Chains A and B, each alone.
Chain A
Amino acid sequence: MMSAVMNALLLMLLGMVGIFTVMILIMISVNILNKFAKDKDNKK
């Protein structure tokens, strides 16, 4: 049981780090897209 609990705590750590890494990378990408990926009609 102790090994299952240790695995669960490790999963919690890796899971939250993993999710935040993915979300932050996507957030940065979207910010870059919003800045540079303009439609032709919107370009001035």
Chain B
Amino acid sequence: MEFLENFSFLWDSVAFFFTGDGWKNLVMLAVGALLIYLALAKDFEPSLLMPMGLGAIVVNLPLSGAIGHAADGSQGIIDWLFKVGIEASEALPLLLFIGIGAMIDFGPLLSNPKMFLFGGAAQFGIFLTVAVATLLGYNFTDAASIGIIGAADGPTAILVANVLETPLLPAIMVAAYSYMALVPIIQPAAIKLVTTRKERMIRMSYNPAAVSRKTRILFPIVVTVIAGLIAPKSVSLVGFLMFGNLLRECLKLDNLSQTAQTSLANLITIVLGLSISASMKAENFVKLDTIIVMALGLVAFVFDTIAGCLFAKFLNIFLPEGKKINPMVGGAGISAFPMSARVIQKMALKEDNQNHLLMHAVGANVAGQIGSVVAGGIILTVVPKLIGA
């Protein structure tokens, strides 16, 4: 009998799910399982959704040792990772940017610089979503944090939402990564909404100009200085992204470049996914706000794409026949790289099997990488000023 009493905590654990708000933890276990299913069975951003899914299960088990408990003053490893790596320093998302920068070849953009414009236009969804969120009653900082889902860039979304100290951080993180995985479904629908078949069949010749090594080396430095002068808060984001790119392009630090692209990026991804799950505790996540944030995130992605397409159509008014831009390329100006460029290439080939837009779309897509971090920096610069903080 005494033996059984020693194991009575097992019964307490099971009973926990069925008393008070315990059902919310049960819901989170299901959410965790769903994320793992989407990651492994549907191949949706597996490197992040899998750690997040298992993390969601770990932090929502009753009396989980992975999270801190005020009652006994304990500090679990996942809470510690979140506090040190994200909350206190934003180190994890920023370090991930070094890896991302080292992975990106800006060549297609440097040889066709007008694609930079699409990297700007396709950030419109961010700001439109901020406005929509305020109309729904969210305060300005929460609305700005929701809007940044439209950056289509997980680390930027995490960093901005964390700096703005929104309680909606977990929903924003899940939305940001989920929608990135859903780009192949969201973008074609949004593009078809605002383009005709004739427009989608516009062919664009690709005659890339040679890009010198000097240009490739000076480019990350120039971008950091310009972005830093106009949006000072973007320096950490842009600077780390461009540092990674400089490692790649200088050709003197191949070992460091390879490490940034592989070991560093992989390590940070593993730790980041688990750290994020600290904010997926049932009491923070199972609420109506999460569903609204997910819906607003979709609005942001859709209007990013639409704005990119419409901007290309606007430019076409002034461009002569033969120089017109396929509006789908504008839609690739979001930051989801390289998924968005691939989607555009696939759509172009579906309409006309000889229309190869991949390199144009890649140019717009990498411009979107820069555009999204600049948008994040602008939000971090402007929002505190507007609220007088």
Report how far A24 CA is from B367 CA in the complex, Å: 11
User: 1/0 contact trace for B286-328 toward A, CB 8 Å?
Assistant: 0000000000000000000000000000000000000000000
B214 neighbours in A (Cβ, 8 Å): 33, 37-39
Number of interface residues of B (CB under 8 A): 52
Q: Which of B109, B110, B212 has the most CB of A within 10 A?
A: B212
Q: Which of B6-14, B62-70, B226-234 touches A?
A: B226-234
Inter-chain contact B127/A11, CB cutoff 8 Å? yes
B127 neighbours in A (Cβ, 8 Å): 8, 11-12, 15-16
Q: Which of B75-83, B164-172, B381-389 touches A?
A: B381-389
Which chain A residues (1-31) contact chain B, with CB distance < 8 Å? 1, 3-5, 7-12, 14-16, 18-27, 29-31
User: 1/0 contact trace for B114-153 toward A, CB 8 Å?
Assistant: 1011011101101110110111011110011000000000
Inter-chain contact B374/A22, CB cutoff 8 Å? yes
Report how far A34 CA is from B110 CA in the complex, Å: 8
B386 neighbours in A (Cβ, 8 Å): 7, 10-11
Inter-chain contact B215/A37, CB cutoff 8 Å? yes
Inter-chain contact A39/B113, CB cutoff 8 Å? no
Main secondary structure of the interface of B (DSSP, over half): helix
Q: Which of B20-28, B53-61, B90-98, B217-225 touches A?
A: B217-225
Given A27-B113, A38-B212, A8 and B230 touching (CB < 8 A)?
no
CB distance from B306 to the nearest CB of A (A): 14
CB distance from A19 to the nearest CB of B (A): 4
CB distance from B145 to the nearest CB of A (A): 12
Residue B40 is within 8 A (CB to CB) of chain A in the complex: no
Which listed residue (B143, B210, B226) contacts A25, Cβ 8 A?
Answer: B226
Report how far A4 CA is from B205 CA in the complex, Å: 46
A37 neighbours in B (Cβ, 8 Å): 212, 214-215, 218
Inter-chain contact A30/B371, CB cutoff 8 Å? no
Chain B's closest residue to A18 (CB) is: B378
CB distance from A3 to the nearest CB of B (A): 8
Chain A's closest residue to B119 (CB) is: A23
28 contacts between A and B (CB under 8 A): A1-B135, A7-B134, A8-B133, A8-B140, A8-B143, A11-B379, A12-B127, A12-B130, A15-B127, A16-B123, A18-B382, A19-B374, A22-B120, A23-B370, A23-B374, A24-B116, A26-B370, A29-B226, A30-B110, A31-B113, A33-B215, A33-B219, A33-B222, A34-B111, A34-B113, A37-B214, A37-B218, A39-B213
Which B residues contact A (CB, under 8 angstroms)? Answer: 109-111, 113-114, 116-117, 119-121, 123-124, 126-128, 130-131, 133-135, 137-140, 143-144, 209-215, 218-219, 222-223, 226-227, 230-231, 367, 370-371, 374-375, 378-379, 382-383, 386-387
Q: A1-B137, A22-B374, A30-B113 known; 10 other A-B pairs, CB under 8 Å? A: A5-B131, A8-B130, A11-B386, A19-B371, A22-B226, A23-B371, A25-B230, A27-B116, A33-B222, A39-B212
